[in-house]
Amino acid sequence: MEILKAENLVKIYHDNGVPVNALQGINLTVSKGEFIVIAGPSGSGKTTLLNLLGALDKPTEGKIYFEGEDITQKEKKVLSKMRLHKLGFIFQAYNLIPVLTAIENIEFSMMLLGIPDNVRKGKALALMDELGIKELANKRPNEMSRGQQQRVAVARAIVNNPSLVLADEPTANLDSVTASHLLDMMEQMNSEKKITFIFSSRDKQVIDRAKRLIILKDGRIEN
Amino acid sequence: MIFKLAWRNIWRNKRRSLIVLVSIIVGLIAIFLSDGLSNGMMRQMLFNQINLDIAHIQIHKAGFNRNKIVKNYLPDYKHVESVLKANPEVQAYSKRVYATGILSSANNSSGVIIDGIIPAEEAKVSIIKNSIIKGRYLGSGKRGILIGEKLAEKLGVDVGDKVVAMANTLKGDIGSDAFRIVGIFQTSSSEFDKIAVYVNSKAEQEMLGIGDNYHEFAIITKDYNEVTSIKNKLEAELGSRYEVFTYRDMLPMLIYQMELYKESMMILNIIIGLALIFGIINTMLMSVFERIREFGVLMAIDMKNSRLYLMIVFEAFILGIIGTLTGLVCGLLLDIPLAHSGINLSIFSVGLESFGIGAVIYPVLSAGSLINSVLFMPLVAVVGALYPAYKAIKLEPIYAINYV
Ligand SMILES: Nc1ncnc2c1ncn2[C@@H]1O[C@H](COP(=O)(O)OP(=O)(O)OP(=O)(O)O)[C@@H](O)[C@H]1O
Ligand SMILES: [Mg+2]
């Protein structure tokens, strides 16, 4: 089943009046349950593409269909509602709210969805248990390692059962063992919960584990 | 959860929050002190005047206040007295004979106002009995006189010395009489101490040749806030032969000054508030800029703008509340002892005494100003957070996430 479709995506930034062609005609179809890695050198447009797919930014040209609906024309409000209900995000760093503990960070996403207080804690704990990070529950971000923070971020991203999780270089600051653990976790969620993952990476180890690899170069898909 | 988030964010940068708190606390204490001080000063000025000789209400023959001459005595003081006795709002009154004249000693002479009083009555109306610093209060002896300390100095006299008082009589010639100083008083007003002297009313009535008549009733009511309605009632009962004045009628300048002072205090408070608002805007802006990335993430996972806005305003509001509570406690801790001991402004007291204030000011915090300032600070904090919060929600998530 098709979940996401991009047609002829073009993104032109203007850097002090100089146009930068970050994406130059991307066509892409993603089916439910896929596990996709977007690879490519620095400046190739990975972040730009993920931002467009996650409706955080608008393309200069082209269309994006999410679950069959064109999201390029939709209002901000509708888009942010869609993000809340259907998407999960994992950024390279600073994913977590520093003043909240791990479990509170996870609960926070649920609170935004309006899930009642008493349900939240149990759900968050169950998920942390499943992901093997239960012992981090009461730690604040600054008491956790980078890898631990990213694992909590994964939990935060999937706790509302999104249909799609977008992750921009989630392993960028991690050593290979930690990165591998994180990938295990995402794979587990992918196979158990059928959550679609799209993430970018420049890391060979990560790229090797892709079920589908998209290579970007100068704003174009190479393979 | 938003509360928890806001609360923890406040303590994240302790130093910054403390600075805001301290400025709120100091601002509040400044408002308390200046309010309490000016309030106290105004009340003291008013009460000093009232207690000196104005009292709450005065009754004279119609026209007396325009022309304070001997023959303008009360047409029927016994009638006035019976009206006052029947009025439950009247707490005490004192009948007075009034004359301007000259008091002479062997060395010097000075223009004075001679008050003829019934000592027991006057003691219930004015502070003169309690202001004796040397000798004693007037007794029943007809030849006794009380004079102010400043006047005694000028005339070069002391308790036990003889002085001669002179004034126009009813017939138009000069009446004079010798008195012996039984007491010297000192009040909060050096002006008053220079010109007021007290004798027994009998002695003055004889000197002026006005029979047993009086010029003035000075009245203390049970509630000085009610003087206007009491005055209206008395006026209706006494008719047009008499004029009834309240302290508000008699001290128009002071009343006006008090009102002016209140306004200037309000302006001062607004200035303090404005300074605080800008301080808070600055602090909250800094704290917003520090958290741009975080806001980006919050917005990406879709924290609604209204929630984000609320959170930032809430942070300031909590600071405002904490600051207000602490400031309130500090302010009261400072104010309450001061209200008992007073603040000694004796360095300035030469000036203040001629104002009729006295060297020691007892701050008075009115419930009104307390409530106002308690509402004021959280409001100020919230106002100071509006713009920074607006800045925060205007951020674009991708810009914010990539912000370094
Ligand atoms: N906001 C922007 N304004 C102007 N140019 C931009 C902006 N964002 C990205 N670019 C440019 O667009 C191109 C693609 O950038 P993008 O960040 O998508 O690449 P990337 O593949 O994510 O790179 P990296 O691996 O370094 O993260 C680059 O040339 C970059 O300089
Ligand atoms: Mg990138």
Q: What secondary structure, in 3-state letters, does A9-35 show?
A: EEEEEEECCEEEEEEEEEEEEEECCCE
Domain count, chain B: 2
Quick one: pLDDT at residue B394? 84
Domain limit, last residue, from B208, B239, B270: B239
Residue B226 and residue B336 in one domain: no
- For the segment A127-155, the average pLDDT, to the nearest whole number, is 91
Quick one: pLDDT at residue A7? 93
Instruction: Using the mean position of ligand 1's atoms as its centre, give its distance from the Cα of residue A209 in Å.
Output: 25
| pLDDT tens, residue by residue, B319-366 | 889 988 988 888 888 777 777 777 766 555 555 555 555 567 777 777
Residue B203 and residue B147 in one domain: yes
3-state secondary structure of B229: helix
Q: Mutate which of A14, A47, A168 to test ligand 1's pocket (most atoms within 8 Å of Cβ)?
A: A47
Residue B263 and residue B232 in one domain: no
Instruction: Using the mean position of ligand 1's atoms as its centre, give its distance from the Cα of residue A93 in Å.
Output: 17
CB neighbourhood size of A36 (10 A): 18
Residue B69 and residue B148 in one domain: yes
Instruction: Using the mean position of ligand 2's atoms as its centre, give its distance from the Cα of residue B248 in Å.
Output: 78
By C-alpha distance, the chain A residue nearest B398 is: A56
Residue A58 has φ and ψ, to the nearest 5°, of -110, 145
Interchain CB distance below 8 Å, B294 and A156? no
| Facing B398 at nearest CB: one of A56, A100, A109 | A56
Interchain CB distance below 8 Å, B1 and A99? no
Mean pLDDT, 10 residues at a time, chain B of 404 residues: 83 86 86 80 84 93 92 94 94 96 94 96 94 94 94 95 94 93 92 94 95 96 91 94 93 86 84 85 85 82 79 89 88 77 62 56 73 82 88 80 66
| Facing A97 at nearest CB: one of B5, B302, B402 | B5
> Residue A218: nearest ligand to its CA?
1
Quick one: pLDDT at residue B345? 63
- ipTM of the modeled complex: 0.76
* Residue B13 near residue B318, CB atoms below 8 Å: no
* Residue B327 near residue B381, CB atoms below 8 Å: no
Residue B268 and residue B187 in one domain: no
Residue B25 and residue B72 in one domain: no
Residue B121 and residue B192 in one domain: yes
Quick one: pLDDT at residue B349? 52
Range 116-155 of A in CB contact (< 8 A) with B = none
Distance CA B54, CA B217 (A): 10
Residue B234 and residue B258 in one domain: no
HSE-up of B258 (CA within 13 Å, CB side)? Answer: 16
Instruction: Using the mean position of ligand 1's atoms as its centre, give its distance from the Cα of residue B39 in Å.
Output: 65
* A44 C-beta closer than 6 A to ligand 1: yes
* Residue B222 near residue B30, CB atoms below 8 Å: no
Quick one: pLDDT at residue B13? 84
| Facing B294 at nearest CB: one of A56, A98, A112 | A98
Quick one: pLDDT at residue B347? 57
Extract the tokens encoding B149: 């300390």
CB neighbourhood size of A1 (10 A): 7
Domain limit, last residue, from B206, B239, B272: B239
Q: Which residues of chain A neighbour B298 with C-beta distances below 8 Å?
A: 97
Quick one: pLDDT at residue B351? 54
> Residue A15: nearest ligand to its CA?
1
Mean pLDDT of chain A: 90
Quick one: pLDDT at residue B119? 95
For the cut 60, the answer to whether the pLDDT of residue A141 exceeds it is yes
CB neighbourhood size of B82 (10 A): 12
Q: What percent of chain A has pLDDT over 70?
A: 100
Extract the tokens encoding A203: 């890391």
In a mutational test of the A interface, the residue from B12, B304, B401, B403 whose CB has the highest number of chain A CBs within 10 Å is B401
Give the closest residue (by CA) to ligand 1 atom 14: A45
Q: Which residues of chain B neighbour A98 with C-beta distances below 8 Å?
A: 12, 294
HSE-up of B2 (CA within 13 Å, CB side)? Answer: 19
Residue B11 and residue B75 in one domain: no
Quick one: pLDDT at residue B272? 85
Quick one: pLDDT at residue B352? 54
Size of interface A-B (CB pairs under 8 A): 57
Instruction: Using the mean position of ligand 1's atoms as its centre, give its distance from the Cα of residue A152 in Å.
Output: 27
**Prediction pTM value:** 0.70
Let me know if residue B291 belongs to a domain: yes
Residue B205 and residue B347 in one domain: no
What stretch of H or E contains B175?
strand B174-185
| pLDDT tens, residue by residue, A32-41 | 999 999 999 9
Interchain CB distance below 8 Å, A51 and B293? no
CB neighbourhood size of B77 (10 A): 18
Domain topology for A33-61+76-221? Rossmann fold (3.40.50)
Tell me the domain boundaries of chain A: 33-61+76-221
> Residue A46: nearest ligand to its CA?
1
For the cut 80, the answer to whether the pLDDT of residue A158 exceeds it is yes
Domain extent, residue B194, equals: 63-239
Residue B259 and residue B235 in one domain: no
Let me know if residue B248 belongs to a domain: no
Domain limit, last residue, from B214, B239, B264: B239
Using 50, 70 and 90 to split pLDDT, how confident is the model at A80? confident
- For the segment A166-181, the average pLDDT, to the nearest whole number, is 88
Let me know if residue B269 belongs to a domain: yes
Residue B22 and residue B155 in one domain: no
Quick one: pLDDT at residue B151? 96
Residue B67 has φ and ψ, to the nearest 5°, of -145, 95
Least Cα distance to A42 among A207, A223, A202, A215 occurs for A202
